[in-house]
Amino acid sequence: MGAKRLILDLDLGIDDAMALAYALASPEAELIGVTTVFGNVPRAQSVANCLAVLDLLGHPEVPVVEGADRALAATEPYTTMVDVHGTNGMGGVELPASRREPVRAAEPGGNAAVDFLLEAAKRYGEDLIFVPTGPLTNLALALERDADAVRRIGRIVLMGGALTQPGNVTPGAEANIANDPEAADAVFRSGVPVMMVGLDVTHQVQLAQTELDRWRALGTPAADAYAQIVGYYIDFYVRRSPYLRGCALHDPLAVAVALDPSLVETFATNLKVDLEGPFRGRTIGDPERLADERKTAEVALKVDVDRFETIFKERMLQALSAK
C-alpha cells in the first residue's frame, strides 16, 4: 500500500483554517491540494483565504484549486457572508495577500476542482483521502461527470449534517448541507461510501480560550494570527452557546477522523437529504433503503474527546511553530 494522499475541499472560514493547519502537521498523509467551494464565504474569498493561510503556515507548494461558486440549483454565485466567521471568513483579521494564483478551469464554465479530484482519484485510487468541509457541490459534480473514478477514492469523510442533534441554521439543517441540499442528497444517494462527521460529534470537541495563550507564546506570525482569528470564533461561541467550553472544532475533527477513523464510533445507514418543506436540508435515514443490506454511509455518533483534543493541541502547536 502506498503513502496516503489527502485533498481538502474548503469554504475557508475559521475552523477550516484550523483543519488545514492540522492536516499539514499530520504525518499520516501528504496534502496534495486544496480545492475550494463557496459556503462560509464566497468562492473568491475562500480561494484568497486558502492561499494566504498556506503561505502563512509555510506551505506555498500546496496548490489551491477553484471549485464551485454556487449550489447545484442556484443560478447566481453565492454572495451571503455568515457572521460566524467574520466579514472575510478570518474573523476580520487581514492576512498578507498571497502572490500565488489558484488553479483555474481551462474552459469557461469549467470546474478545476472537479478536474483535480478526478485526476487524483484515477492516479492514487484507494490511497486517496478526500475531506469536504463545506457544501458537497464539487463532490456531486465529480460524481455526475465520472462516478467510477470517484468510487476509486479510498476514503471520503465529510463535515456536515446531523442525525441525533438539531441543525445549526434551522431546527433540521446543518449549515454545509443547507448551502446545497441537492448536492448532499446526490452524494448520499450515489452509492459511494462516505463517513459523515456532523454536529452529533463536532459539538463535543472544543477549544478553550486558554489554549490561545500557548499559541501566542510561540511568538511566530502564524501563531499570532491564528490566536486573533480563533479568538473571534471563540467569542462568537461564548455569546451564542455559553454552555460550551469554547468553540466547536467541526472541520478539524473531520480531518482527524479521515486520517484515523478509530477516533469515532459510527452508525451504518443509508442517508438522504430533505429537499422540500420546513425540514429542507435535514440529513435523515432514507426509508426506501432502510432494509437494504448494503449501507453506504457511516454516521459518527461517539468520539474519543480526550484523545482527539490532545492530538489537536499538539498538532496545532507544531503547525504554528514554523518561523
**Location of C-alpha cell 449501507:** 295
> Could you count the other beta carbons within 10 Å of the beta carbon of residue 149?
18
Which grid coordinates are listed for 300? 459518527
CB burial readout 162-190, b (16+ within 10 A) else e: bbeeebbbeebbbbbbbbbbbbbbbbbbb
Which grid coordinates are listed for 316? 496545532
CB burial readout 57-71, b (16+ within 10 A) else e: bebeebbbbbbbbbb
Q: How far apart are CA 258 and CA 322, in angstroms?
A: 24
> Could you count the other beta carbons within 10 Å of the beta carbon of residue 315?
21
Give the phi and the psi of residue 322 in degrees, each rounded to 5. Answer: -65, 130
* Ramachandran bin of 238, using left for φ above 0, alpha for ψ from -120 to 50, beta for the remaining angles: alpha
| 59 a catalytic residue | no
Could you say which of 59, 85, 203, 250 is catalytic? 250
> Could you count the other beta carbons within 10 Å of the beta carbon of residue 104?
12
Which grid coordinates are listed for 128? 486517496
Q: Which residues are catalytic?
A: 250
